[in-house]
Structure 1
Amino acid sequence: MTSPLTSPVSGSAPTLLLVDDESVFRERLARAFRERGYEVTTAGSYEEGLALASRESPEMAVVDLRMPGRGGLELVRDLHALDGSTRIIVLTGYGSISTAVEAVKLGAFNYLPKPADVDDLLLAFSRGAGESSQVTEDFQPPSLARAEWEHIQRVLTDCGGNISEAARRLGLHRRSLQRKLQKYPPAQ
């Protein structure tokens, strides 16, 4: 396996695609990667990211899960379809087990919660595919509220984001489900 610090092409700078709709965060990460010798291209949406990857396939990609319009999971799937060797890390502030599993199924190399810095990302790239960087010996099972939130997210993902269908499958009124989705996920 190649180290994230070296390129398989004789000594050239590793290429990285960074896709996030938060411009300040995206540019801060891009600058930090450039300072470490990476050749970075940035995009603020699914469309921009896919267009850049179509022109020149990156060795690595960091993709935000939630963006306006088409989301990060679709971008992971399409980047993986363009070039299966691109190592993709999904970054999100709204993580759940179901979205992590879905991202890995679609071709993501790893999954990290925000806020993450360059060191966190490089560590995730250097680990094995899907290997968590936050496994501890004192693992605490999730609370009932967290388990409910993750189950709702999984059903919503299975329904392709269709709230009415997810509410039907969960046996909830559509408005009740919308209220639950507006809340922040429980911490544990």
Structure 2
Amino acid sequence: MEDLTPDLGDDRTLLLVDDDEPFLRRLARAMEKRGFDVETAETVAAGKAISTARPTAYAVIDLRLGDGNGLDVVETLRAKRPDSRIVVLTGYGAIATAVAAVKIGATDYLSKPADANDIMNALLAKGDALPPPPENPMSADRVRWEHIQRVYELCDRNVSETARRLNMHRRTLQRILAKRSPR
């Protein structure tokens, strides 16, 4: 079995903030295997409380949480621990939010779904060096399908509203939704 533990230094504390509970559990287990001491939170309030009480050396914070914006947690952690390395995760990749995240102190910005290796590479990237590109990036078809699914869920699974927001014919959308996800 390969050794997954990188050189994390003396402080191995990692805060994970995400409201997707199954994803949060999987990521926490994967990061513990890589040598991190993990604390988790599912809300902005819990993330800010942990950041204030026990500021961590590393953090992975989802942008959109049930009770607000993950950037509030980034600001709190950055104020308490300026040297922390923070990665913002989101399923809503947009240039404006990436710029906002980096401006307030995020080290990197990754779109979901990101795997534990991508996250670890982003957390441990030295200085201004960019982490290596992902080993198996999503295909363009998969990215499109993920985006359509996300908008569909945000529209409470209303096909007509989703089609309107995506500027797509309703029947075309129905055909896409009926198919399996691309690889």
CA contact (8 A) 1:104 1:130 kept: no
| Alignment-derived partner of residue 5 in structure 1 | 6
CA contact (8 A) 1:110 1:124 kept: yes
Distance 1:8 1:73, change over 3 A: same
Distance 1:133 1:117, change over 3 A: same
Asked if 1:121 corresponds to 2:119, the answer is: yes
The alpha carbon displacement at 1:122 in A equals 1.1
3-state SS of the aligned residue for 2:46? helix
Asked if 1:28 corresponds to 2:26, the answer is: yes
- Scaled by the length of structure 1, the TM-score of the pair is 0.64
Amino acid at match of 1:57: P
The alpha carbon displacement at 1:130 in A equals 8.2
Unmatched runs of 5 consecutive residues or more in structure 2: 135-160, 168-183
The alpha carbon displacement at 1:6 in A equals 3.1
CA contact (8 A) 2:51 2:76 kept: no
Aligned residues: 136
CA contact (8 A) 1:50 1:79 kept: yes
| Alignment-derived partner of residue 49 in structure 2 | 51
Distance 1:55 1:100, change over 3 A: same
The alpha carbon displacement at 1:129 in A equals 4.6
Distance 1:90 1:20 in 2: 10
Asked if 1:66 corresponds to 2:67, the answer is: no
Distance 1:29 1:96, change over 3 A: same
The alpha carbon displacement at 1:183 in A equals 4.2
| Alignment-derived partner of residue 130 in structure 2 | 131
Amino acid at match of 1:90: V
| Alignment-derived partner of residue 83 in structure 2 | 85
Runs in 1 of length 4+ with deviation above 6 angstroms? 178-181
CA contact (8 A) 1:109 1:129 kept: no
Amino acid at match of 1:100: A
Amino acid at match of 2:6: L
| Alignment-derived partner of residue 97 in structure 1 | 95
Amino acid at match of 1:18: L
CA contact (8 A) 1:45 1:68 kept: yes
Distance 2:68 2:25 in 1: 21
Amino acid at match of 1:120: D
- Scaled by the length of structure 2, the TM-score of the pair is 0.66
RMSD: 2.7
